[in-house]
Amino acid sequence: MDIFQYLEEMQEDVFSLAVEQIEAKYFEICSMLASAEYAERIKAIDIESYKESIRVGLDAAVEMATNEESKAIYFEYDLDNEWDSQFYICEEYIPLEEEDDDWASEWTYNIEGPGSVELADMYNGNGFDTSEKAVGVTLYLIAKTLCSFISVRSEVQSNIPICIGFHDQDPIMRTGRD
């Protein structure tokens, strides 16, 4: 299975599994495709300060989106630039089923989000999908980021769709069903 098939499956996992189950699933996939050592190293990365920074940014994004009567919030992180991220406040939103995520590039406001040198360092040594090992590492790093975001997202009260993706990801992950 290629990385994009795994990413499609990860979206379905968001809808059907608890955060802990998602992280455990991709830990196992990383162990199988890369090695147990890589999976353990990624698991050991402390992301509490990263999650707190997501919380601060997401609170600000929800407040802005609510005040501006925006349709969606899109959190984008950059795998190639130390996991640097932005919260984009979007005027439009199109459900996942319609397979058109151009709405996310039509944002009106943005709020700077956190980065993670630790996650980026694990990624930089392997690349996106250049080998089976790289696929395993990348998937687990994406899952760890996604699970961190969803755990923070679950604490936020908002009816606005809140989505997440790495730079140039298509489709963008939805954190809940439309």
pLDDT of the chain, 178 residues: tens digit per residue: 899 999 999 999 999 999 999 999 999 999 999 999 999 999 999 999 999 999 999 999 999 999 999 999 999 999 999 999 999 999 999 999 999 999 999 999 999 999 999 999 999 988 899 999 999 999 999 999 999 999 999 999 899 999 999 999 999 999 988 7
How many Å apart are CA 27 and CA 141, to the nearest integer?
9
Amino acid (one-letter) located at 118: E
Helix pair 132-153, 48-67: axis angle to 10 deg: 60
Sheet-wide strand order for 162-166: 107-112, 85-90, 72-77, 162-166, 173-174
How many independent structural domains does the chain possess?
A: 1
- In this prediction, residue 126 carries a pLDDT of 85
Range of the domain at 17: 3-174
Helix pair 132-153, 36-43: axis angle to 10 deg: 30
